C-alpha cells in the first residue's frame, strides 16, 4: 500500500493521456477533480492487486457519455458516491475498494477522485491497459465477467440499476439512458471479487501511468527528448517520424473516424505513414506494410515536446513521432482479438503482434 | 472636406501610428518606443503622427487603438478588479470549484467571493435545476460594496443563456445598472472551466479598460481632437468604447490580428500567410477571406486555461534585435533574447557591442542599413549558417501554419521583415508591400465592425440548410448592433463541428458577419 498525492496525480494524468492512444477524453477534468478531492479529503491509498482479499468486493467506477458534455457539465462528485451506495444496497455487501476500468484518458483519474471523497482505497489495476470506446472492451469481459449489475447515476440524483443478459446489451441500453440523463453519467460497473480481479485485470496500471508521466516531466525539465524514455518504459517501438500532410475525418455512428497521412522525416524520409483512427489511433501502416494494429497501442507524440497528440488534435504540419506498444497478453487471445481487434473496427486485416510485424522487417 | 483617422497599434518593442485619409491613403506613419506603462508610448506616437501629417485636427474623425494594457494587467497581476465569481450549475460541477487549476497568486486575488448556485442547462437545453433566484438575491446583498465587477457563468450557456441573463437582471436590480457584469456566453464557448476562467479574467480587467479608454480620449482632447474612439479586438474588427469596457478580454492579441488585417489591405490578398517580424519575435498567422484564422485549442493566458476566441498565431523568438551568440568552434545560438527598441544603440552596425539578427543580414549584404564596415570583419561562412537557420525558423513556422502542402502567398510585414529574403520555401510568392513596417497600425485604422455567435444547434429540428442560415442571420444581427452598415455586411467566417456521442445531429456552429461602420 502507498499513498497517492497531488504530485502523483499530475504524473498519472500525463501517463493517462499517452495510454489514451489519441482518445479516452482529455484527462484534464479528471485530474482537477482528483486534485480538489485530495485538497479536501487528503491523499488516496493505492493497493497492489495482491493486497485485495479473494472474497473482497471491488467495484470499478467510470464515466460514460460524451467528453464534450463532461467538460461543460462537470460532475458534482456525488454521482459516483450515489452510484456506489445503490450497488452496495443491491449486492448487500460492503465495497472494499474501487479501480479504473480504463488506463487511458479521463477514466483513469475519476476513480481516484471518488476514492479520496469516500476514503476507499484504489486497486492498482484496470481492464484495458489503454483506452477503448465500448463497455465490453475490457479484459473482465474476455473472462466472462458480467458488466452488470451496474448503476448509472447523474448529478440530479437519478440512479439507474441495470441487469442485462450480456455486456453488449448493457452498452446498448446504457448509451440510450446516458443521453436522457444529460449526456454524461457516472457508472458503477463490473463488480468483482478479489480473486477475479487478480485473474482478469491488467495489473499495476496506475503505477505504470505514473512512471510514464514522471519520465516525460523529468525529461522536459532537463530539456531532453522524453520519447526515448517512454519507449524504454513501455517496451515500445518508434514506428515513424514525420509531418502530418493530410487529414481526412468524418463522424460516423457517433464516432470520429478518419485517416491521417504522415510524410517521413530524418530516418523515414521518402516514406509515408497512414494512421487510421476511430476515437483512438487503431492502425498505423505504410504503403506496403503494417506497423502496428489494435489491440496493440499506437500513440502519436509531438516530436518537440513529447506530449501525446489526440485524434482531434492532429492537424496538418504537426511534427510527430508515432510509437507502438505491445498490448497486454489478454488482448492477444482469439477472444481479445475478436472483441477489440482490427476486424471489429472494420479494418480488413488480421492482428499481428507489433514485435512480429517489426521482426519481418528485420529490425 | 477630407476626413482623417488615426490608427495606433502597440507592439512589444514599438508603438506604431498612422494617419489615413478617408480613402485609406497613408498620410503619415511613425514608430515610437513602447513605454513600460504603455499609455505614455501611445500618447507619444499619437502626437508624433498628428504633427507629421499636418492635417487639421478638427478633421480627424476616428481614432482606432490596438493596445496591450489588458494582457499586461493579467500577466503582471496588477490593477485587477475585485471580482465576484458566480457559477450557476449546482448540483452539477461541484467536483471542480471555480479557479481550481489557476495559479495560486491569481487565485488569491480573484477567489475571495466565489458562489455556486443551483441552475444551468443540459446540452439539449433542458434544465439541470430551476435557477435559485432567492440565493442570487442573497449573494447580491452580501457582495454589495465588496466587489466592483461580477463574472457569471452558467452550465451550457452557449446552448441557453437564460440563467445568466436572469442572474444579471437580479444583480442590476440590487446593485444598480452600473455594476459591470461579465456573462460567459458572450465571451467563450463550450468548456465550462475555460469559459469561466475567461469570464473571470474579463471581469478583472474592466477598470483597466475603462482607465485606458478615458486616458486616450483625454490625450486626444488635449490635442484638440474630438474623434470617435474605437478599440481593436482580436478578430480584426472594432469595438466601441462602451463595448470595450464590457468585453475588455477581446482586446487581447489584437496586435498580431491588426498586422494580418493590414497585410491583407495593403496587398489585396484575402488568403495568404502573414509573417510579421518585430523587434523580438516573428508572429506567423493565416488570412482566410481577409480575416485571421482562429485557434481551435484552449489558450493559456497568464497561466490560466481559457477558450475565448483568439487568432491562430505561432510566435518564434526571432526579430530585428534578436541577439546572436557565436562560439569559438563556430556553433551558434539565435536568441531568444533581444535588444528590442535599443537596436539603434546596441547593434554593431549602429556602433554598439551586441551582434544582432540585423547585423547578420547587413554583413551578408542582404540589407543596406547603418555602417556595414563595422560588421565586415565577421566570418561570413558562419554568418551564412546563422542566416540560413534564421530563414529556416520562419519557413518551418510557415509550414506548420498551412493546412495543406500547396504553396501559398506569403506577405512580409513589420519593422524586421527587411531581414527576410524574397523567396521562401512553401511560398508561391513573397510579397513585401509598401508601408509594411506599420501594417499593424494600418490594420487597426481600417478595421471593420463584426458580430459573432457560437452555439450548439440540433440540426435535425430545422434541417441543415435552415439551421445554417439561422446561425448566419444571428451573426448579422450582432454586427448591426455593434454598428455595422446593414447593407454592406457579409459572412466572413463559418464553421460547423459535429459533436461525438450526442443525438439529434448536435453541431457546434460558429458564424461571423462583418462590414464597414454605418455612416450615421
B8-38, pLDDT tens digit by residue? 999 888 899 999 998 889 999 999 988 888 8
Please state, in angstroms and as integers, the Cα–Cα distance from residue A343 to each residue in A98, A282, A293, A337, B57, following that order.
Answer: 32, 11, 10, 8, 75
pLDDT of residue B437: 87
Q: What is the mean pLDDT of chain A?
A: 92
Q: B338-368 burial string, b = 16+ CB within 10 Å, else e?
A: bbbbbbeebbbbbebebbbbbbbbbbbebbe
Check pLDDT > 90 for residue A360: no
Quote helix, strand, coil % in chain A, to nearest 5: 35, 25, 35
Task: Please give the Cα distance from A102 to B479 (Å, whole number).
Answer: 47
Band (pLDDT 50/70/90 cuts) for residue B255 is: confident
pLDDT of residue A315: 79
pLDDT of residue B518: 73
- DSSP type of residue A94: -
Beta bridge partners of B96: none
B101 chain-A contacts, CB cut-off 8 A: 32, 35
As a whole number of Å, the CA-based R_g of chain A is 20
Q: Strands (DSSP E) along B293-417, which ranges? A: 299-301, 304-306, 314-316, 322-326, 332-338, 408-413
Alpha-helical runs (H) found in A49-157? 67-70, 78-91, 110-118, 139-142
Of A241, A247, A238, which is closest to residue A265 (Cα–Cα)? A241
| CB atoms B402 and A72 under 8 Å | no
Average pLDDT over residues B496-515: 75
Q: Report the percentage of chain B scoring pLDDT > 70.
A: 98
Each residue's pLDDT tens digit, A46-88? 999 999 999 999 999 999 988 889 999 999 999 999 999 999 9
Neighbours of A111 (CB within 10 A): 28
Average pLDDT over residues A224-232: 87
- DSSP type of residue A142: H
| CB atoms A317 and B95 under 8 Å | no
Task: Please give the Cα distance from A20 to A138 (Å, whole number).
Answer: 14
Check pLDDT > 90 for residue B507: no
A315 chain-B contacts, CB cut-off 8 A: 403
Chain B nearest-CA distance from A124, in A, is 23
Give the range among A47-51, B152-156, B506-510 with minimum mean pLDDT.
Answer: B506-510
Check pLDDT > 70 for residue B519: no
Task: Please give the Cα distance from B117 to B119 (Å, whole number).
Answer: 6
Of B288 and A191, the one with more pLDDT: A191
- Residue B439's SS3 state is helix
B399 chain-A contacts, CB cut-off 8 A: 243, 317
Chain B nearest-CA distance from A279, in A, is 9
B48 class by beta-carbon count within 10 Å (0-12 exposed, 13-18 middle, 19+ buried): middle
Of B142, B23, B17, which is closest to residue B67 (Cα–Cα)? B17
| CB atoms B400 and A319 under 8 Å | yes
Chain A nearest-CA distance from B307, in A, is 12
Band (pLDDT 50/70/90 cuts) for residue B296 is: low
Angle at A264 between CA A261 and CA A270, to 5 degrees: 110
A255 chain-B contacts, CB cut-off 8 A: 500
Interface mutation vs chain A, best among B164, B194, B400, B501, most A CBs within 10 Å:
B501
B387 class by beta-carbon count within 10 Å (0-12 exposed, 13-18 middle, 19+ buried): buried
Chain B nearest-CA distance from A319, in A, is 8
Q: Strands (DSSP E) along B23-106, which ranges? A: 26-33, 60-66, 83-90
Check pLDDT > 80 for residue B505: no
Each residue's pLDDT tens digit, A152-175? 999 999 999 999 998 889 988 998
Return the H-helix or E-strand segment holding B174. Answer: helix B162-175
Return the H-helix or E-strand segment holding B69. Answer: helix B69-76
| CB atoms B155 and A313 under 8 Å | no
Chain B residues whose C-beta sits inside 8 Å of any chain A C-beta: 89-97, 100-101, 120, 122-124, 126, 128-129, 155-156, 190-193, 297, 399-405, 498-503
pLDDT of residue B240: 83
Band (pLDDT 50/70/90 cuts) for residue B243 is: confident
Average pLDDT over residues B372-395: 93
Neighbours of A270 (CB within 10 A): 6
Task: Please give the Cα distance from B156 to B121 (Å, whole number).
Answer: 6
Phi–psi pair at B515, nearest 5 degrees:
-170, 170
Average pLDDT over residues B156-182: 95
Q: What is the mean pLDDT of chain B?
A: 90
- DSSP type of residue A109: T
Chain A residues whose C-beta sits inside 8 Å of any chain B C-beta: 29, 32-33, 35-37, 65-69, 71-78, 113, 155-157, 179, 182-183, 243, 245-246, 251, 254-256, 279, 313, 315-319
**Residue B487 CB partners (closer than 8 Å, separation 6+):** none
Task: Please give the Cα distance from B307 to B248 (Å, whole number).
Answer: 15
Each residue's pLDDT tens digit, B106-141? 999 999 999 999 999 998 889 999 999 999 999 999
Average pLDDT over residues B249-271: 91
| CB atoms A256 and B500 under 8 Å | yes
Neighbours of B333 (CB within 10 A): 12
B404 chain-A contacts, CB cut-off 8 A: 245-246, 316
Tell me the CB-side half-sphere exposure of residue B449, using CA atoms within 13 A.
24
pLDDT of residue A303: 81
Of B297, B409, B405, which is closest to residue A316 (Cα–Cα)? B405
A66 chain-B contacts, CB cut-off 8 A: 123, 499-502
| CB atoms A254 and B500 under 8 Å | yes
Q: A188-214 burial string, b = 16+ CB within 10 Å, else e?
A: bbbbbbbebbbebbbbbbbbbbbbbbb
Q: B480-502 burial string, b = 16+ CB within 10 Å, else e?
A: bebbbbeeebebbbeeeeebbbb
Of B281, B334, B314, B296, which is closest to residue B398 (Cα–Cα)? B314
- DSSP type of residue B227: P
Residue A141 Cα to chain centre, angstroms = 16
| CB atoms A157 and B404 under 8 Å | no
| CB atoms A156 and B129 under 8 Å | yes
Please state whether the predicted TM-score (pTM) of the whole model is above 0.90: no
Task: Please give the Cα distance from A321 to B373 (Å, whole number).
Answer: 46
Return the H-helix or E-strand segment holding B251. Answer: none
Query: What is the 3-class SS of B484-514, one letter each residue?
Result: ECHHHCEEEEEEEEECCCCCCCEEEEEEEEE
pLDDT of residue A363: 44
Chain B nearest-CA distance from A114, in A, is 10
Task: Please give the Cα distance from A198 to A50 (Å, whole number).
Answer: 7
Strands B4-10 and B14-21: antiparallel
Of B154, B147, B146, B148, which is closest to residue B183 (Cα–Cα)? B154
Beta bridge partners of B30: B17
Neighbours of A174 (CB within 10 A): 24
pLDDT of residue B447: 84
Alpha-helical runs (H) found in A92-184? 110-118, 139-142, 167-180
Q: Report the percentage of chain B scoring pLDDT > 90.
A: 57
Average pLDDT over residues B252-271: 91
| CB atoms B192 and A72 under 8 Å | yes
B126 chain-A contacts, CB cut-off 8 A: 182
- Residue B241's SS3 state is helix
Task: Please give the Cα distance from A100 to A113 (Å, whole number).
Answer: 11
ipTM summary value = 0.88
Tell me the CB-side half-sphere exposure of residue B297, using CA atoms within 13 A.
13
Task: Please give the Cα distance from B30 to B16 (Å, whole number).
Answer: 6
pLDDT of residue A362: 45
Of all residues in chain A, the one with the smallest CA distance to B120 is A73
Residue A299 Cα to chain centre, angstroms = 12
As a whole number of Å, the CA-based R_g of chain B is 24
Chain A nearest-CA distance from B14, in A, is 31
Check pLDDT > 90 for residue A306: no
Beta bridge partners of A125: A203
Task: Please give the Cα distance from B65 to B6 (Å, whole number).
Answer: 8
A71 chain-B contacts, CB cut-off 8 A: 190-193
Return the H-helix or E-strand segment holding A39. Answer: helix A28-41
Check pLDDT > 60 for residue A361: no
Chain B nearest-CA distance from A246, in A, is 7
Of A1, A15, A7, which is closest to residue A206 (Cα–Cα)? A15
Amino acid at each position: 500500500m502507498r499513498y497517492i498525492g497531488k504530485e502523483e496525480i499530475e504524473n498519472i494524468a500525463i501517463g493517462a493521456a499517452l495510454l489514451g492512444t489519441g482518445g479516452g477524453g482529455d484527462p484534464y477534468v479528471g485530474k482537477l477533480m482528483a486534485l480538489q478531492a485530495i485538497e479536501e479529503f487528503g491523499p488516496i491509498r493505492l493497493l497492489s492487486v495482491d493486497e485485495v482479499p479473494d472474497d473482497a468486493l471491488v467495484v470499478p467506477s467510470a464515466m460514460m457519455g460524451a467528453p464534450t458534455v463532461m467538460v461543460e457539465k462537470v460532475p458534482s462528485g456525488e454521482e459516483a458516491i450515489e452510484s456506489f451506495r445503490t450497488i452496495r444496497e443491491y449486492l448487500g455487501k460492503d465495497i472494499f475498494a474501487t479501480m479504473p476500468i480504463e488506463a487511458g484518458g479521463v477514466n483513469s483519474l475519476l476513480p481516484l477522485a471518488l476514492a479520496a471523497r469516500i476514503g476507499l482505497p484504489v486497486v492498482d489495476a484496470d481492464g484495458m491497459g489503454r483506452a477503448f470506446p465500448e463497455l465490453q472492451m475490457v479484459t473482465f469481459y474476455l473472462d466472462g465477467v458480467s458488466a452488470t449489475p451496474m448503476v448509472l447515476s447523474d448529478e440530479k440524483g437519478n440512479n439507474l440499476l441495470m441487469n442485462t443478459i450480456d455486456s453488449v446489451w448493457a452498452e446498448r441500453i446504457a448509451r440510450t439512458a446516458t443521453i436522457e440523463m444529460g449526456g454524461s453519467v457516472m457508472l458503477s460497473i463490473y463488480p468483482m471479487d478479489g480473486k477475479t480481479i487478480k485473474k482478469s485485470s491488467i495489473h499495476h496500471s496506475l503505477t505504470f501511468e505514473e512512471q510514464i508521466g514522471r519520465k516525460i516531466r523529468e525529461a522536459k525539465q532537463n530539456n531532453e527528448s522524453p520519447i526515448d524514455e517512454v519507449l524504454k518504459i513501455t517496451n515500445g517501438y518508434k514506428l515513424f517520424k514525420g509531418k502530418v500532410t493530410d487529414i481526412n475525418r468524418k463522424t460516423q455512428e457517433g464516432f470520429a473516424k478518419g485517416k491521417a497521412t504522415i510524410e517521413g522525416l530524418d530516418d523515414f524520409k521518402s516514406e509515408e505513414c497512414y494512421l487510421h483512427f476511430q476515437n483512438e489511433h487503431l492502425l498505423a501502416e505504410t504503403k506496403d506494410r503494417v506497423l502496428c494494429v489494435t489491440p496493440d497501442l499506437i500513440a502519436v507524440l509531438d516530436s518537440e515536446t513529447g506530449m501525446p497528440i489526440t485524434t482531434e488534435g492532429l492537424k496538418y504540419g504537426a511534427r510527430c513521432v508515432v510509437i507502438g506498444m505491445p498490448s497486454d497478453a489478454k488482448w492477444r487471445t482469439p477472444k481479445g482479438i475478436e472483441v477489440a481487434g482490427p476486424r471489429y473496427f472494420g479494418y480488413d486485416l488480421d492482428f499481428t503482434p507489433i514485435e512480429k510485424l517489426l521482426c519481418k522487417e528485420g529490425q | 472636406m477630407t476626413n482623417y483617422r488615426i490608427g495606433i497599434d502597440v507592439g512589444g518593442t514599438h508603438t506604431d501610428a498612422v494617419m489615413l485619409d478617408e480613402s485609406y491613403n497613408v498620410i503619415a506613419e511613425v514608430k515610437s518606443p513602447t513605454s513600460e506603462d504603455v499609455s505614455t508610448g501611445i500618447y507619444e506616437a499619437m502626437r508624433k503622427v498628428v504633427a507629421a501629417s499636418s492635417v487639421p485636427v478638427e478633421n480627424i474623425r476616428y481614432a482606432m487603438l490596438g493596445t496591450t494594457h489588458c494582457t499586461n494587467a493579467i500577466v503582471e497581476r496588477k490593477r485587477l478588479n475585485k471580482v465576484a465569481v458566480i457559477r450557476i450549475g449546482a448540483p452539477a460541477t461541484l467536483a471542480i470549484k471555480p479557479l481550481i487549476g489557476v495559479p495560486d497568486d491569481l487565485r488569491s486575488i480573484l477567489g475571495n467571493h466565489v458562489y455556486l448556485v443551483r441552475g444551468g442547462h443540459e446540452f439539449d437545453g433542458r434544465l439541470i435545476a430551476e435557477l435559485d433566484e432567492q440565493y442570487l438575491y442573497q449573494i447580491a446583498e452580501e457582495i454589495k460594496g465588496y466587489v466592483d465587477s461580477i463574472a457569471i457563468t452558467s452550465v451550457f450557456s452557449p446552448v441557453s443563456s437564460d440563467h445568466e441573463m436572469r442572474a444579471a437582471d437580479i444583480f442590476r436590480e440590487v446593485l444598480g445598472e452600473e455594476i459591470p457584469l461579465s456573462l460567459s456566453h458572450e465571451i467563450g464557448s463550450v468548456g465550462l472551466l475555460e469559459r469561466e476562467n475567461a469570464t473571470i479574467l474579463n471581469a478583472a480587467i474592466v477598470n483597466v479598460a475603462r482607465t485606458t479608454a478615458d486616458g486616450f480620449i483625454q490625450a486626444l482632447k488635449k490635442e484638440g481632437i474630438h474623434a470617435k474612439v474605437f478599440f481593436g479586438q482580436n478578430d480584426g474588427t472594432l469595438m466601441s468604447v462602451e463595448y470595450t469596457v464590457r468585453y475588455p478580454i477581446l482586446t487581447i492579441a489584437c496586435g498580431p490580428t491588426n498586422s494580418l488585417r493590414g497585410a491583407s489591405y495593403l496587398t489585396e490578398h484575402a488568403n495568404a500567410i502573414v509573417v510579421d517580424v518585430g523587434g523580438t519575435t516573428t508572429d506567423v498567422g493565416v488570412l482566410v477571406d481577409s480575416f485571421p484564422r482562429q485557434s481551435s485549442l484552449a489558450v493559456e493566458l497568464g497561466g490560466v486555461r481559457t477558450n475565448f476566441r483568439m487568432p491562430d498565431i505561432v510566435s518564434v523568438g526571432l526579430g530585428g534585435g534578436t541577439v546572436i551568440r557565436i562560439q569559438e568552434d563556430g556553433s551558434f545560438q539565435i536568441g531568444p533574447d533581444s535588444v528590442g527598441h535599443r537596436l539603434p544603440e546596441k547593434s554593431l552596425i549602429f556602433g554598439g557591442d551586441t551582434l544582432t539578427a540585423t547585423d547578420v543580414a547587413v554583413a551578408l549584404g542582404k540589407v543596406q542599413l547603418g555602417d556595414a564596415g563595422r560588421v565586415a570583419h565577421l566570418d561570413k561562412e558562419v554568418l551564412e549558417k546563422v542566416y540560413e537557420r534564421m530563414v529556416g525558423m520562419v519557413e518551418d513556422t510557415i509550414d506548420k501554419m498551412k493546412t495543406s502542402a500547396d504553396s501559398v502567398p506569403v506577405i512580409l510585414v513589420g519593422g524586421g521583415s527587411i531581414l527576410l529574403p524574397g523567396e521562401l520555401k512553401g511560398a508561391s510568392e513573397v510579397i513585401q508591400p509598401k508601408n509594411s513596417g506599420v501594417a499593424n497600425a494600418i490594420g487597426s485604422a481600417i478595421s471593420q465592425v463584426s458580430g459573432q455567435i457560437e452555439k450548439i444547434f440540433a440540426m435535425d429540428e430545422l434541417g441543415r440548410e435552415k439551421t445554417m442560415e439561422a446561425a448566419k442571420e444571428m451573426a448579422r444581427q450582432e454586427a448591426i448592433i455593434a454598428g455595422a452598415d446593414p447593407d454592406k455586411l457579409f459572412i466572413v467566417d463559418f464553421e460547423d463541428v459535429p459533436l461525438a456521442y450526442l443525438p439529434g445531429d448536435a453541431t457546434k456552429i460558429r458564424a461571423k458577419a462583418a462590414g464597414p461602420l454605418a455612416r450615421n
